[in-house]
Amino acid sequence: MLTAALDATRLGARAPLSVGFLRAAAVDYCTSQHQAEAPDNWFEQALAYATAKLHGAAAALSPAGTGIMGQVAGYTAADYLIQHASRKRRSARVPASTWDAVLSHVRDPDDIARLAHSARSRLLYRYAIPLYRHAAAYDRDDAICLARLLAERGHLDELRARAVAGDGYAALKLADLLAKRGNQHEAEQILRAMADAGSGYAALRLADLLAERGDLEGLRARAVAGDRYAVLQLARLLAKRGDPDEAEQILRGAADVGVEGAVSELAWLLVERGDPGGAEQILRAMAHAGDRDAAHELAEILVMRGDLDELRAQADAGNRQAALQLARLLAERGDPGGAEQILRAMADAGDDYAALRLADQLAERSDLEGLRARAIAGDKYAASYIPRLLAERCHLDELRAWADAGIEDAGMQLANLLTKQGRGEEAERLRRFGLNLDGSIACA
């Protein structure tokens, strides 16, 4: 019972665990013989033992009140035990009785969301989807996770139902799934209606679809109506089809009226047309005015022509993108130490993207120990890269352990390794259905 409580807590349960949860969750931690020989009052005995204070120390489980004197809302595990379990049971598989008890007894919305994420990251889709269904009623992010899972598993009907009920993200994923299956017309209908109702992402996806099938007139019509995504895609398509003059004219007009992204798009068009100086002039002015996108594009162009001195100057002036691109250029020129020094300083100062790039560089030179050290220190990006290296080294068992620990990429890399080993059918089942609680690959 105590182990079940600790497992639920490390998976994300923070509210007091009810008596009903503890009773139901404990079952699968006992052998068949233990279950058969348990006395009628096994639960009462277990609860009394777990809540007893030993030698003045904190009890393993402590009751939490409801706000009314004498009433118990549930029980919480001692902090020192939670810390111990988080280390020792990090990759331990949680049995069905605990997951089933989560579905039946956990009601706190925040707990449900965390538990849904834990199930998804462990590829336990049979629990993740129903948990996300509950969580989606309270939180947009959880509705997004549910829609993504439904789309990944090809659940067209449920996506339609959620879209009809007003779930915008389900509608977007429905459109993506329809387009992927070749039903462009219905996908565009959905996206057009959402874009016209003000959805920026729907407008972006619609412009992408129109560009993919080369619909210049469709893009022109939307561009004239003020759709900035259509403007950018129209310019790209025109340039691709050999009409850079009209593309430049469209982008200059859009930049003049402040269309977001037009300046960057214009700059790269000028580079392609052999005028990097003109591109730098535009971007430098925008970067000095505080435009982060322009600063990013300027740094990209400086990297393209290998201007280390200018990158250093921009970095010293506070251009974060220049500092990141300087690290990139140093790495490309055979100075990974200099690159890592820049990235490590930025990461330690709280820059998430720098931490990501540092992890990327460590991964590129297969520095598993370096990644492990950062992962142990709490770097989630370093942790996310370790499964790929394990897959490259064919460490199947350790990959399974990382998947059991909830590291998301471990599941994908496990599937990749199975494919590499000629076990393609198992890999496809893993991608679609995830894992059973015993670690075997699910069939449905």
Output the tens digit of pLDDT for each of the chain's 444 residues. Answer: 999 999 999 999 999 999 999 999 999 999 999 999 999 999 999 999 999 987 667 899 999 998 899 899 999 999 999 999 988 998 899 999 999 999 999 999 999 999 999 999 999 999 999 999 999 988 999 999 999 999 999 999 999 999 999 999 999 999 999 999 999 999 999 999 999 999 999 999 999 999 999 999 999 999 988 898 999 999 989 988 888 889 888 988 887 787 888 877 887 787 778 777 777 777 777 767 667 677 777 777 777 777 777 778 877 777 787 888 888 888 878 888 888 888 988 988 889 989 998 998 898 888 988 998 898 788 889 988 889 888 888 888 888 888 888 887 888 899 999 999 999 999 999 988 888 888 888 887
Q: CA 406, CA 205: separation in Å to the nearest integer?
A: 31
Choosing from 107, 130, 165, the residue where a domain stops is: 107
Residues 342 and 393 in one domain: no
Instruction: Say what the pLDDT of residue 189 is.
Output: 95
Instruction: Identify the CA nearest to 324 among candidates 346, 306, 309, 304.
Output: 346
Residues 4 and 84 in one domain: yes
Q: CA 16, CA 238: separation in Å to the nearest integer?
A: 61
Residues 294 and 359 in one domain: yes
Residues 51 and 24 in one domain: yes
Residues 20 and 92 in one domain: yes
Residues 388 and 442 in one domain: yes
Whether residue 257 lies inside any domain: the answer is no
Q: CA 410, CA 443: separation in Å to the nearest integer?
A: 19
Residue by residue, what is the 3-state secondary structure of the chain?
CHHHHHHHHHHCCCCCECHHHHHHHCHHHCCHHHHHHCCCCHHHHHHHHHHCCCCCCCCCEEEEECCCCCCEEEEEECHHHHHHHHHHCCCCCCCHHHHHHHHHHCCCHHHHHHHHHHHHHCCCHHHHHHHHHHHHCCCHHHHHHHHHHHHHCCCHHHHHHHHHCCCHHHHHHHHHHHHHCCCHHHHHHHHHHHHHCCCHHHHHHHHHHHHHCCCHHHHHHHHHCCCHHHHHHHHHHHHHCCCHHHHHHHHHHHHHCCCCCHHHHHHHHHHHCCCHHHHHHHHHHHHHCCCHHHHHHHHHHHHHCCCHHHHHHHHHCCCHHHHHHHHHHHHHCCCHHHHHHHHHHHHHCCCHHHHHHHHHHHHHCCCHHHHHHHHHCCCHHHHHHHHHHHHHCCCHHHHHHHHHCCCHHHHHHHHHHHHHCCCHHHHHHHHHHCECCCCCECCC
Residues 389 and 289 in one domain: no
Whether residue 2 lies inside any domain: the answer is yes
Choosing from 56, 85, 107, the residue where a domain stops is: 107
Residues 418 and 321 in one domain: no
Choosing from 365, 382, 410, the residue where a domain stops is: 365
Residues 321 and 420 in one domain: no
Residue 298's identity, in one-letter code, is L
Whether residue 342 lies inside any domain: the answer is yes
Residues 346 and 414 in one domain: no
Angle, helices 216-224/228-240, rounded to nearest 10 degrees: 140
Instruction: Say what the pLDDT of residue 124 is.
Output: 95
Count of the separate structural domains present in the chain: 3
Question: For residue 108, how many other CB atoms are within 10 A of its CB?
Answer: 15
Instruction: Say what the pLDDT of residue 266 is.
Output: 81
Residues 2 and 65 in one domain: yes
The pTM of this model reads: 0.66
Residue range of the domain that includes 67: 1-107
Residues 360 and 390 in one domain: no
